[in-house]
Structure 1
């Protein structure tokens, strides 16, 4: 097994199997700071992980979705799991769109404790956000083992690099 595959296995153990993960999701604000530079913006969201993608139910008109519409690059950190990285945000559309049926079922199960309280499925602005991971770092044994992963090319790489 390659080190990339070892890292994937560790991620699956920590975040997969239908788990409701809390991730900090960072986007870039639409308006720059006083010096004209991009301003990061962060919030915690519940996310379901499967095959290199985090899925989040959210509202299409939320600040995060407005920011992602302007700049699809995002960053994330899985709270308390030593797993962080970058990805591309994509609006998959309304949760009740037939193309989302299978994924919606998984999300409803993973988020069953709060899903109906937080999502108004009759509103077409109730959507699924996909965060397709491009690169990530996962750490184990308090930093003794570190996997720097290029999800695009499916290889281990230098920290923060995509080959």
Structure 2
């Protein structure tokens, strides 16, 4: 079955799965060589958000090539475009910083030294991907406003019922 992004509910599923403090894998590349690392993240208002440091290799890689892949280490994966959103105390980041403080309470201030000029937010926005919930898979493309919805029949994504 095909649908569009809004009617399919795929964005609601992503929000539900990743709106809280979540460890995700971020894949970037340099000279066509991929690199993966785990980051603490959350999904809010159509994007994944990461607090990090401008000196990190993956931040430099995003600055040179904004195309990023996000995965939860399972079968959910998202092709994204990343941007460096600036320092947490930048006026333009006030509302998202409030979200960070709620999502990462109580440890946000403990582990993120906002006195450092190099601290930054990274905004990673999916443009296509795959996510599943309740034995239903959603292959989506936000750019084309299309979603292919299908039952999942293979064993990796579903809880198999015993046959005995």
- Give the TM-score band, short-chain normalised: 0.7 to 0.9
User: TM-score w.r.t. structure 1 length?
Assistant: 0.80
Report the Cα offset of residue 128 of structure 1: 0.5
- The alignment status of 1:124 with 2:117, answered yes or no, reads yes
Counterpart in the other structure of 2:161: none
**Structure 2 segments unaligned to the other structure (5+ residues):** 150-164
CA RMSD of aligned residues (A): 1.9
CA displacement, residues 16-45 of structure 1 (integer Å, 9 cap, x when unaligned): 2xx11111000003xx4xxxxx21100111
8 A contact 1:22–1:79 mirrored in 2: no
> Match for residue 140 of structure 1?
133
2:70 is the alignment partner of 1:76: yes
Structure-2 separation of matches of 1:45 and 1:121: 18
In 1, distance between residues paired with 2:102 and 2:23?
15
| Whole-angstrom CA distance in 2 between matches of 1:66 and 1:27 | 10
Q: Deviations over 1:63-101 (max 9, x none)?
A: 111111111100010245x42111011001111001101
What is the match of residue 28 of structure 1?
29
Structure 1: which 5+ runs fail to align? 33-37, 159-163
1 CA distance for matches of 2:16 and 2:86? 29
Offset at residue 157 of structure 1 (A): 5.0
Q: Does 1:96 align with 2:89?
A: yes
1:41 and 1:28 map into 2 onto residues whose CA distance is: 6
Contact 1:138 1:147 in 2 (8 A): yes
**In the alignment, what sits opposite 1:50?**
44
Count of residue correspondences: 145
Which structure has the larger Rg? 2
8 Å contact from structure 2 (residues 4, 145) kept in 1:
no
